[in-house]
Amino acid sequence: MTKRFGFTLAEVLITLGIIGVVAAMTIPTLISNTNGAQFKSAYKKALSSLNQAVLMNVAMEDTDFRTLVKDDDDHGSGTLARMLTDRLQSATDMTDTYFAEVAENSNGITSDTTLDVTVNCTLNDLADSSEDAEEGSIESICEQARSELIAQDAPASVPKPGTINFNPTANDYYVYALADGTYFGFSKRAENCTKGNTMCHGFIDVNGSTNPNTVIACDDEDADTCEVDNSNVRDIYPVLFYEQTVEPATKAARTVLFGK
């Protein structure tokens, strides 16, 4: 009689258990790395599309971010919204729905990022500013300009450098959806954008209101150099826009753009 060799039930179950444990340990990392690669690709594509849009505007209208005026509900000529809708034909205003959906999905945007900014404070800004203005807010920066603005020979505006907390909300940003599902948000205060006037800032959200809704950050913010592991790549990237350029606004955003 021929003997047949095989695995016992116990051996099969042990093997399957080991495979399950290994899968549970590795699959989340694989998924995270895959998402990270997709986020990187979408971010670079959106940055390229925005730069092409302003260059097209220069070619067709002979205007760029230097002549930009503050946006309004009517999106008049010379606003960034008009530039987007003219040069990126399917750009759609998603401000209200974006922030509502972000709040529903993840209780808001997660961010520990700050931006160096120059605010052109005007007399109108004083109505919103006070001595109790939250540190890291635009109002707190403009409060420092109060004495200059209320002086008898005060200029129309006073530029004040400062650092603001970067945590986009509907009060401070407009958000537009691009054709590929990427979203571009920009400060409602942006105007006359020249290099150094970093009030002209915004963000790219590569997957809209879908989670994680987290601003990109260095793996170790205290390190001398910024590194972003592929598993730590997130979906929101701060940007600056001025003259004919849209570029990363933070070390982490630059690392993702120029890294492998």
Domain range annotation of the chain: 9-113+166-258, 121-157
**Helix %, strand %, coil % of the chain (to 5):** 40, 20, 40
Band (pLDDT 50/70/90 cuts) for residue 94 is very high
Band (pLDDT 50/70/90 cuts) for residue 89 is confident
How large is the average pLDDT for residues 57-81? 89
How many alpha carbons fall within 13 Å on the CB side of residue 83?
30
Band (pLDDT 50/70/90 cuts) for residue 24 is low
**Distance from C-alpha of 193 to C-alpha of 46, rounded to nearest angstrom:** 20
More confident residue, 14 or 30: 14
**Distance from C-alpha of 236 to C-alpha of 214, rounded to nearest angstrom:** 6
* Burial label, 38 (beta-carbon count in 10 A; 0-12, 13-18, 19+): middle
Point out which residues pair with 162 in neighbouring strands.
Answer: 117
Band (pLDDT 50/70/90 cuts) for residue 9 is confident
Residue 34 is predicted with a pLDDT of: 60
**Distance from C-alpha of 44 to C-alpha of 255, rounded to nearest angstrom:** 12
Band (pLDDT 50/70/90 cuts) for residue 2 is low
Residue 202 is predicted with a pLDDT of: 96
pLDDT beyond 70 at 3: no
Residue 102 is predicted with a pLDDT of: 95
pLDDT beyond 70 at 58: yes
More confident residue, 125 or 33: 125
Task: Give the predicted TM-score (pTM) of the model.
Answer: 0.83
| Token pair belonging to 85 | 């809708």
pLDDT digits (tens, 9 = 90+) for 106-144: 888 999 899 999 888 877 766 656 667 788 888 888 888
Residue 28 is predicted with a pLDDT of: 57
Residue from 230, 71, 241, 236 nearest 166 by CA? 236
128 Cβ partners below 8 Å, 6+ apart? Answer: 139, 142
How large is the average pLDDT for residues 236-251? 96
45 Cβ partners below 8 Å, 6+ apart? Answer: 180, 182
Residue type, 70: K
Band (pLDDT 50/70/90 cuts) for residue 62 is very high
What's the mean per-residue pLDDT of the chain? 86
Residue 67 is predicted with a pLDDT of: 92
Residue type, 27: I
Residue 152 is predicted with a pLDDT of: 65
pLDDT beyond 90 at 241: yes
Q: What percent of the chain has pLDDT over 70?
A: 88
**Distance from C-alpha of 106 to C-alpha of 219, rounded to nearest angstrom:** 21
